[in-house]
Chain A
Amino acid sequence: MFVLSVCCLVGIQGGHAATEGSAIVCAPVGQHSAVNVNAGDLNIFHSASPPAHEIRELAWLVFGISAGIFIVVEGVLIWSIIRFRKRKVDAGEPLQVFGSNPVELAWTIIPCIIVLVLTLATVRTIREVELESAPAGALEVDVIGHQWWWEYRLPAPSGAIVVTANELIVPVGRPIWLSLRSADVIHSWWVPRLAGKTDVIPNHLNHTWFQAEAEGTYLGQCAEYCGNQHANMLLRVRVVSVEAFEMWCAAQLAPQVADASGVDGRALFLELACMNCHAIDGVSKGAFGPNLTHLMSRETIGAGAAPLNPQTLRAWIDDPQSIKEGCNMPSLKLEASQLDAVVAYLLTLK
């Protein structure tokens, strides 16, 4: 176990290095692909926001105390295994020791002290991290968990509400106050580098918060088993400059520009079942699936199941089950020409 522990520490660092290399290969293809060298890094110790910092500090304290206890106990254990193994010279039974009040008192009281210290440290950090209300100046975001995607509603500087899915875009340096609701079962919102997880429970409003210190993409995923595609309910938070955030909001609120290449596809979108589930501003009002008004501003599709580009979009619409087996979007069995038209239309939703 000692060897393994060392491996662990090396691994936590090594895991970091490995992801730096591979993140570039897997860099998202979308238009906003601000390449973040740490995109694949979800290490809870690489915190980038106050709640995650607080937890990290407490974690190191607990690690330290635990390591001390571990070394002492395992040391004594190994010593007694080696020292007191039966030897050939041993004859008769060893001295029978029934106990010792001072010794037993000692190993009752010392753990009590450790427990007291840990409890106080815990209570202190709970108070730092678990806020009762939104911090001053926070951007208040509504998060709604669905089987198996995320819906976000956030106020633009103008006061209008931006509705988007699966990718949360927030300004750097500003506290973000999340109100968590679920449309169906329990989910859990967990972006390790920004904050610990908070469950997203139907009929039970929860809150969490973070304040990203650096621009970049922070990944996470649903952390409470929520059914078939729990594994592909990924979280993606893009932290951008304040100006970029304002531009993004403006773009999200801008009406769609009618584009000739989308006319046939738009007709199909209305004719087929698409509109029942998906909203597109000014076109349809479905609420069961993600809002598609600015679909092509996103980096991934299927809540992160695949990068978003014309090829994956076509494959997804052809048969979502081939990319995300068991998801709630059925294959509509479109013919190739219909598929081309729908994809062409969706590509205009920038």
Chain B
Amino acid sequence: MTLAEHHPTIPAEVSRTLGARLHGWAVTVDHKRLGIMYVCFGLIFFVIAGIEGAMMRAQLAQAAGKVVDPATFNQLFTMHGTTMVFLVGMPMLLGMANYLIPLMIGARDMAFPRLNAFGLWLFVFGAILLYYSYIGAQGLYGTSAAPDVGWFAYAPLTNRTFSPGNSTDYWILGIMVSGFGSITTAINLLATILVMRCPGMTLMRLPLMAWMMLVVSVLVIIAIPVLTGAQIMLLLDRSLGMHFFDTQNGGSSVLWQHLFWFFGHPEVYILVLPAFGFFSEVIPVFSRKVIFGYPLMVAATVAIGFISLGVWAHHMFAIGMSPALNAFFAASTLLISIPTGIKIFNWMGTMIGGQIIFATPMLFASAFLGIFTFGGLTGIMLAVVPFTWQLSDSYFVVGHFHYVLFGGTIFGIFSGLFYWFPKATGRMLSERLGKWFFWLLFIGFNLTFFPMHVSGILGMPRRVYMYQPDRGLELWNMLSSIGVIIQAMGISLFVLNVLISLRKGKVAGNDPWNAWTLEWATTSPPPEWNFDQVPTVGSARPLWDIKNPTDPDSNHEGIS
């Protein structure tokens, strides 16, 4: 195998009209274009969800804020949560995997290219359906339009009695449709990773990111159908008068919680494992060292996947479960901290003894290690059932899950975007703007979400449009709100960076980071067919082997 040096350009494409080019994007089945579209839509919804979050923080900056009315506030947190999980996290992560996995495993495309396009457009359609509710739906008491039942939509608040109108139906259908898209993408990724690997790439030579996406795909295929099923039951309750969750007629609201969280907890790992995958690529390259303990990393990933299916009821410690069930779910939840801890230690073991280059992707990765450790530790606190009887549904929980999902998933996405942007566009993002962006986001993030832990300990429940002025909460809420302004400045710099770099960024070349996985062996951007010649690999770091022919990794396989 050799590093590609050129690929034939397609002059016809340059001269095409705008309409023809848009048509090209709409009908494409190329995994790279689909991946880019996923990321672009995800970024748009990231900005929208960010604006929703900022409006909530504006309202809560003071005890009796008057920025929005209660009904609007309830829509804001519902839409913020739903959007971040289903329209930002899922599409961006699955989209980046869509772009990268075939390149990383030396394949020409995904296993099912047309299914791939179908998945993207289902996601887009579901997202539009959800957001159309702002225009077309009626909510509680006709006062509101968008869904306002919270992102986990607890029954029986979603029952027709308490949620008249049809905003909740928009929530059900929008998420259900985009969920089908996620399932198809997961099936596709699974098939691709299992059968499309290039010659020589055994499972134990997969890039760690591909391993993590393999586990994520399995989790998506197990978890999302449970949500879809529960949503269909809810839809039947609402539109055909059935009583699954209708407590006025013998239905069970606890059943909804079990079904939702059986999806909801694996979902957390669906959102964070791909980011772990990005970091598992970024940290070795910028530490200039091979990943420490590859087999243990794989084992930890698979363990997380398994255990994550048995911890869901830790979201339900306050519903009055028996002591035995409470103890079981506490133990399983604490157990998951072991493989997660192993990952953190192995990443740090990779950095120790390295020559770390703090380019923007690595800044995000090292900040992630610090932040995620903190979020993991507050997670341990929340696994301790009696402590959760105080903390659950308080702002402490809001602080906790932003530390893991923002500090994990979103930092991972930005680390990955800075790392792979040159591959996808052929140009580097500005490092100068990137570093400003990182520091603003890092400071703003901590300022926003750290004080929430304190608010929670001081007794502030989540999902309140106002809080009492005499409870010592003002300072902490004000700090949180100020943090949002700093984050917003950072995000603006990122958008600016993308817009400038797309036109004027430094030309990247094939392998700007001196990296080791196959995507860097082809051109930037890669041709439609990815590789002129399907590569053959002899280790998990094929480009290392080429660059260091005297000490190829294959000499070290099986030794650790």
Tell me whether A186 and B335 are in contact (CB under 8 A).
Answer: no
Tell me whether A112 and B384 are in contact (CB under 8 A).
Answer: no
| Among B334, B345, B346, contact of A118 (Cβ-Cβ < 8 Å) | B334
**What mask results when residues 28 to 49 of chain A are scored 1 for a CB within 8 Å of chain B, else 0?**
0000000000011111110000
Number of chain A residues close to chain B: CB under 8 A: 105
Instruction: Write out the residue numbers on chain A whose beta carbons fall within 8 Å of the beta carbon of B74.
Output: 225, 227-228, 230
Within 8 A of A (CB), among B238-286: 247-248, 250-254
- Residue A157 at the chain B interface, CB threshold 8 Å: no
Tell me whether A62 and B560 are in contact (CB under 8 A).
Answer: no
Which one of A83-91, A239-247, A269-277, A308-316 contacts B? A83-91
- Residue B370 at the chain A interface, CB threshold 8 Å: yes
Instruction: Write out the residue numbers on chain A whose beta carbons fall within 8 Å of the beta carbon of B9.
Output: none
| Among B71, B294, B475, contact of A98 (Cβ-Cβ < 8 Å) | B294
Within 8 A of B (CB), among A262-305: none
Tell me whether B319 and A201 are in contact (CB under 8 A).
Answer: yes
Tell me whether A85 and B380 are in contact (CB under 8 A).
Answer: no
Nearest Cβ on chain A to B79's Cβ, whole angstroms? 14
Tell me whether A69 and B472 are in contact (CB under 8 A).
Answer: no
Given the known interface contacts A94-B354, A206-B319, A234-B468, the answer about A70 and B374 at a Cβ–Cβ threshold of 8 Å is yes
Tell me whether A1 and B457 are in contact (CB under 8 A).
Answer: no
Instruction: Write out the residue numbers on chain A whose beta carbons fall within 8 Å of the beta carbon of B386.
Output: 54-55, 58, 122, 125-126, 129, 196
Tell me whether A224 and B556 are in contact (CB under 8 A).
Answer: no
Nearest Cβ on chain A to B558's Cβ, whole angstroms? 10
Nearest Cβ on chain B to A333's Cβ, whole angstroms? 18
Tell me whether A230 and B253 are in contact (CB under 8 A).
Answer: no
**What mask results when residues 397 to 418 of chain B are scored 1 for a CB within 8 Å of chain A, else 0?**
0000000000000000000000
Tell me whether A185 and B162 are in contact (CB under 8 A).
Answer: yes
Tell me whether B389 and A198 are in contact (CB under 8 A).
Answer: yes
- Determine the residue in chain B with the shortest Cβ distance to A58: B386
- Residue A81 at the chain B interface, CB threshold 8 Å: yes
Tell me whether B320 and A207 are in contact (CB under 8 A).
Answer: yes
Tell me whether A186 and B470 are in contact (CB under 8 A).
Answer: no
Nearest Cβ on chain A to B235's Cβ, whole angstroms? 19
Tell me whether B253 and A40 are in contact (CB under 8 A).
Answer: no
- Residue A261 at the chain B interface, CB threshold 8 Å: no
Instruction: Write out the residue numbers on chain A whose beta carbons fall within 8 Å of the beta carbon of B355.
Output: 84-87, 90, 93-94
Tell me whether A225 and B353 are in contact (CB under 8 A).
Answer: no
Instruction: Write out the residue numbers on chain B whose beta carbons fall within 8 Å of the beta carbon of A19.
Output: 470-472
Tell me whether A12 and B323 are in contact (CB under 8 A).
Answer: no
Within 8 A of A (CB), among B378-396: 378, 380-381, 383-394
- Residue B465 at the chain A interface, CB threshold 8 Å: yes
The complex places the Cα of A55 from the Cα of B384 at a distance, in Å, of 10
- Residue B450 at the chain A interface, CB threshold 8 Å: yes
- Interface of B: prevailing SS: helix
**What mask results when residues 81 to 112 of chain A are scored 1 for a CB within 8 Å of chain B, else 0?**
10011110010011111111101100110011
Instruction: Write out the residue numbers on chain B whose beta carbons fall within 8 Å of the beta carbon of A97.
Output: 289-290, 292, 349, 353
- Residue B348 at the chain A interface, CB threshold 8 Å: yes
Tell me whether B384 and A42 are in contact (CB under 8 A).
Answer: no
Which one of B18-26, B150-158, B500-508 contacts A? B150-158
Instruction: Write out the residue numbers on chain B whose beta carbons fall within 8 Å of the beta carbon of A156.
Output: none
- Residue B4 at the chain A interface, CB threshold 8 Å: no
**What mask results when residues 1 to 20 of chain A are scored 1 for a CB within 8 Å of chain B, else 0?**
10010001001101110110
Tell me whether A8 and B393 are in contact (CB under 8 A).
Answer: no
| Among A11, A66, A84, A107, contact of B341 (Cβ-Cβ < 8 Å) | A107
Given the known interface contacts A99-B296, A122-B330, the answer about A188 and B457 at a Cβ–Cβ threshold of 8 Å is no
**What mask results when residues 195 to 230 of chain A are scored 1 for a CB within 8 Å of chain B, else 0?**
111110111101100000000000111111111111
**What mask results when residues 460 to 492 of chain B are scored 1 for a CB within 8 Å of chain A, else 0?**
111111111111110110000000000000000
| Among A127, A196, A207, contact of B318 (Cβ-Cβ < 8 Å) | A196
Tell me whether B292 and A45 are in contact (CB under 8 A).
Answer: no
Tell me whether B384 and A73 are in contact (CB under 8 A).
Answer: no
The complex places the Cα of A25 from the Cα of B551 at a distance, in Å, of 75
Instruction: Write out the residue numbers on chain B whose beta carbons fall within 8 Å of the beta carbon of A130.
Output: 323, 326
- Residue B453 at the chain A interface, CB threshold 8 Å: yes
- Residue B454 at the chain A interface, CB threshold 8 Å: yes
Instruction: Write out the residue numbers on chain B whose beta carbons fall within 8 Å of the beta carbon of A198.
Output: 318, 320, 389
Instruction: Write out the residue numbers on chain A whose beta carbons fall within 8 Å of the beta carbon of B370.
Output: 1, 74, 77-78
The complex places the Cα of A32 from the Cα of B502 at a distance, in Å, of 69
| Among B320, B342, B454, B457, contact of A199 (Cβ-Cβ < 8 Å) | B320
Given the known interface contacts A93-B548, A225-B150, the answer about A45 and B457 at a Cβ–Cβ threshold of 8 Å is yes
- Residue B218 at the chain A interface, CB threshold 8 Å: no
Given the known interface contacts A80-B351, A119-B330, A203-B252, the answer about A188 and B162 at a Cβ–Cβ threshold of 8 Å is no
Nearest Cβ on chain B to A4's Cβ, whole angstroms? 5
- Residue A231 at the chain B interface, CB threshold 8 Å: yes
- Residue A251 at the chain B interface, CB threshold 8 Å: no
The complex places the Cα of A115 from the Cα of B287 at a distance, in Å, of 31
**What mask results when residues 28 to 59 of chain B are scored 1 for a CB within 8 Å of chain A, else 0?**
00000000000000000000000000000000
Instruction: Write out the residue numbers on chain A whose beta carbons fall within 8 Å of the beta carbon of B454.
Output: 8, 11-12, 15
Given the known interface contacts A85-B356, A202-B156, A326-B70, the answer about A119 and B390 at a Cβ–Cβ threshold of 8 Å is no
The complex places the Cα of A19 from the Cα of B387 at a distance, in Å, of 23
The complex places the Cα of A202 from the Cα of B243 at a distance, in Å, of 14
Nearest Cβ on chain B to A135's Cβ, whole angstroms? 16
- Residue B1 at the chain A interface, CB threshold 8 Å: no
| Among B346, B369, B458, contact of A12 (Cβ-Cβ < 8 Å) | B458
Q: List 24 A-B contacts (CB under 8 A).
A: A1-B370, A1-B371, A4-B450, A11-B476, A52-B390, A62-B384, A76-B348, A77-B373, A81-B366, A86-B288, A90-B355, A94-B288, A98-B290, A98-B556, A115-B335, A119-B331, A126-B323, A184-B162, A197-B393, A201-B319, A219-B459, A223-B393, A227-B140, A234-B468
Chain B residues with a Cβ under 8 A of chain A: 69-71, 74, 140-141, 143, 148, 150, 154, 156-157, 161-162, 247-248, 250-254, 287-290, 292-296, 318-320, 323, 326-327, 330-331, 334-335, 337-338, 341-342, 344-346, 348-349, 351-358, 366, 369-371, 373-374, 377-378, 380-381, 383-394, 446, 450-451, 453-454, 457-473, 475-476, 548, 551, 553, 556, 559-560
